[in-house]
Structure 1
Amino acid sequence: MQRRIAVPLVFGVIGTAILIGLGLWQVQRLDEKETELARIDARIADAPVGLPQSPSETVDKYRAVKMEGTFLRPELHVLVGIKDIGAGYRVIQPYETDGRRILVDRGFIKLDAKDDERTPGPAQVIGNLHWPDEVDGYTPAPDEARAIWFARDIPAMADALGTEPLLVVARQEASPMASRVRALPVDSAGIPNDHLQYAITWFSLAVIWAGMTGYFLWRTAGTTRAAKGKAT
């Protein structure tokens, strides 16, 4: 009798403790992620500075910058979809500033605006340095003939346009063509933060595990009592 109850009780307690521990770990990760997102949001909204001479992803990701320069040709188009608007393209264009050529993500245009004239010329750009992680094994190769890409592959785009492998995502642009492109500034909304859902899942599993253990012990005890009653 004691063994029939002790073994499932031990498994029940251990299993429940493990699941609660996983839930608490996810709560901790949630707090860490929220702190990280707050730091990123603060950096994005910082007062812009000049373009660093040798920026790195580790140190300068999301850094706000302000530049004076000139947009050049040609431009590349990254296929994207915008909620409540539909499909379109990000316009990636070479930009010359202080003798350097970099990439600028000017923002969004609709599909039918791809071939519209966007005259190169001088422009002031305020934006954020970014190293998007969008390329994986499932990303199609770009359609170079039509300048259509399916992810922001910075090294490949820089090679195609003859620039540094450096991207600034425009937040604000002062140029004659600015009104034809809708800025898609960097924000933290696209950074996954699913730790609350994971915590709820683990805690729910802990409740279920504990409930099933209790039910099994109750059934076992009931069966044992019934067997003893028949024996007497």
Structure 2
Amino acid sequence: MRRIVLPLILGIAGFAVLASLGLWQLRRLEWKEAMLDEIARGIAAAPVELPAAIDPSMKYLPVTMTGTTTGDEILVLSGTREAGGGYNVVSGFVTDDGRRIMVDRGFIPQDDRRAPRPAVRLRVNGNLHWPDEKGPSTPGPNLAEGIWFARDVPAMAAQLGTLPVLVVANAIGGDAQGVAPIPLSPQGIPNSHLSYAVQWFLLAAVWAGMTGGLIWRITRRPV
């Protein structure tokens, strides 16, 4: 029996650690689902007038505003299931109280890339957003063509000469100029905690199986 004590202790300890990591991921899953529900309720709430002071803590806040696009825009490489590849149009926008911000007006197909979109007066309903899309492998923008590969609020604001404030439109009043709004949705927020939990539990099962196999082999050896 003394021969199996150490493998048994290591087996139990390893199983406990791996199983506890799986349980922790299940708790994270519960937390993430509650957060996504809260975000969904916030996105769908009644819009308020664009606040006088804006900061990233207001992410997803539903707002409404009127103003005029500047005619300057950034095209962010995008796509939809229905239309395939295309671009999101991020326009400079001057609100009626004189603030220069940005509006992600929505999607255009590739063929409409060079269609004229001059300054136009609009009423915009949407949500404040600070997307986290730029990773270490994301290419920099092609400024010559005006094409970006991720929405980077500070960089886009510097390019368009606006405040670092982005409103993602869900409804446009006025001439939308062929741009179809793509409302924010929590469906785009990653939630992989369930798959992580399954991986930890599978590792725990493998560890238990290997421990059992090792103990069986030890007990089969002659003393």
Partners of 1:119 and 1:177 within 8 A in 2? no
Partner of 2:81: 83
Q: Following the alignment from structure 2 to structure 1, what is the Cα–Cα distance between the partners of residues 3 and 16?
A: 21
Q: Does 1:150 align with 2:149?
A: yes
**1:84 CA drift (Å):** 4.6
| Structure 1: 4+ residue segments shifted above 6 A | none
CA distance in 2 between partners of 1:117 and 1:80 (Å): 19
Deviations 1:108-166 (A, max 9, x none): 11111111122321111000000011223322222222211111121121122111110
1:72 aligns with 2:58: no
Partner SS, residue 187 of structure 2: coil
Task: Name 1:9's counterpart in structure 2.
Answer: 8
Matches within 5 A, 1:17-166: 17-58=16-57, 60-97=58-95, 98-166=97-165
Measure how far apart 1:219 and its partner are. Answer: 2.3
In structure 2, list runs of 5 or more residues that go unmatched.
none
Q: CA deviation at 1:177?
A: 2.5
Aligned-residue sequence identity (percent) comes to 49
Q: Are residue 171 (structure 1) and residue 204 (structure 2) matched? A: no
| CA RMSD after TM alignment | 1.4
The CA distance in 2 between the partners of 1:208 and 1:85, in whole Å, is 45
Residues 48-102 of structure 1: CA distance to partner in whole angstroms, max 9, x if unpaired? Answer: 00111111112x1000001111122111101123335321111010111121111
TM-score by length of 2: 0.94
What amino acid is aligned across from residue 63 of structure 1 in structure 2? L
Deviations 1:143-192 (CA, angstroms, capped at 9, x unpaired): 222211111121121122111110000000011225x1121111111211
Instruction: Compute the TM-score of the two structures, normalised by the length of structure 1.
Output: 0.91
Kept after mapping to 2: 8 A contact 1:118/1:177 = no
Match of 2:197? 199
**Aligned residue pairs, count:** 222
Residue 125 of structure 2 aligns with an amino acid whose one-letter code is I
